[in-house]
Amino acid sequence: MSGPVGVLHPPVRRRRTAATVWAVVVGGVVVAATAGLQIDWRELGQLPAELLRFGTLMFTDPDWERLPRALFEMWRSISMAWIGAILCVVLSIPLGILAARGVGPRWVRLPLRGIFAVIRAVPEVIIALLLLTVTGLTPLTGALALGIAGIGTQAKWVYETIESAEEGTSEAVRAAGGTTAEVARWALWPAVAPALMSFALYRFEINIRTSAVLGLVGAGGVGSMLANYTNFRAWDTVGMLLIVVIVATMIIDAISGAIRRRIMQGPAVNPGRRLVARGGKH
């Protein structure tokens, strides 16, 4: 008080009545939703103890004897994801290009976009589930389902990438007398290819997770094995399977992420040195 330096006061805050009202309304809805759920919230108190109990059952002595089988099934899931990703990309690139503004005619573009939006809105697993009941439950149909269920998002990425590509190169090719096909090959493709490759790998990463889920409903792969052993309450095997899923997913994410960065950012060499090297060639 009496010192030479006074206490600093932050500026007075604005009143925000509307925000307060909204907070109360949202809070009320949340409370109502919590109360409306048929959950005995007292169970939540025992939850940490329960999770610990099951955690020790699963992870203190994982059943490594079934590891070969688990790796086999994991590879099956990865295969489903990979083939599904290829299928999805192969289908979505032409469809996405047709749906891009400036490429396809309006009567093609709008219905296509509508279909993509519908596929996007329905959860992938439901689409896959429906397809699986029609095509039978095999890993191949799982891959097929992944391929089709992913089109909604993948094709949207494709047409958004194309639309955000710069006009300049396309105009240059057109001005030089290029046809639509030549515009696509020499102006659009070089501009969008890296992004599309990156999205393709990203689709693979997404599919790794979804393929495990498809296994849960019977399409085979690590998900099916997990569902079986969970039903048997064979917790040590479940623990081992979870470890396999986690490690495999993280490894694939890391590799795929590194490749995507490499695609989008180019090689990590000193750009100055490369210029010099290339200059020396000719």
Partner 1 sequence: MSATTTPELTLPPKPRNIRQRVLVATGFLLFTIATCIPAIGGITLDIAALIRNWNNGAGLLLQLFTPDFTFLPRTIGPMIETLQMALVGAVGAAIVSVPLTLWAATPTNPNSITRQAVRTVINVIRAIPDLVYATVLVAMLGVGALPGVLTLFLFNVGVVVKLVSEAIDSADHAYMEAGRAAGGSQLQINRVTALPQAWPLFANQWLYALELNVRISAILGIVGAGGIGRLIDERRAFFAYDDVSVIILQILVVVVLIEFVSHALRRRLT
Residue bearing tokens 């010192």: 3
- Residue 123 binding partner 1, by CB under 8 A: yes
> Interface with partner 1 by CB under 8 A: which range of 11-19, 89-97, 135-143, 182-190?
135-143
> Interface with partner 1 by CB under 8 A: which range of 72-80, 100-108, 164-172, 179-187?
72-80
Please, what is the minimum distance in Å from the beta carbon of residue 81 to partner 1? Answer: 9
- Residue 25 binding partner 1, by CB under 8 A: no
Expressed in angstroms, the distance from the first to the final Cα of the chain is: 77
Q: Which tokens hold the place of 192? A: 């969008």
Q: Out of 5, 12, 18, 33, name the contact with partner 1 by CB under 8 A.
A: 33
Q: Which residues between 236 and 265 bind partner 1 (CB under 8 A)?
A: 238, 242, 245-246, 249-250, 253
> Interface with partner 1 by CB under 8 A: which range of 97-105, 154-162, 166-174, 230-238?
230-238
Q: Out of 19, 21, 130, 275, name the contact with partner 1 by CB under 8 A.
A: 130
Distance between CA atoms of 28 and 34, rounded to whole angstroms?
Answer: 10
> Interface with partner 1 by CB under 8 A: which range of 59-67, 106-114, 129-137, 182-190?
129-137
- Residue 74 binding partner 1, by CB under 8 A: yes
Please, what is the minimum distance in Å from the beta carbon of residue 250 to partner 1? Answer: 5
- Residue 216 binding partner 1, by CB under 8 A: yes
Binding site for partner 1 (CB under 8 A): 29-30, 33-34, 36-40, 43-44, 47, 50-51, 54, 71-76, 78-80, 82-83, 86, 118, 121-123, 125-126, 129-130, 133-136, 138-144, 209-210, 212-213, 216-217, 223, 226-227, 230-231, 233, 238, 242, 245-246, 249-250, 253, 278, 281-282
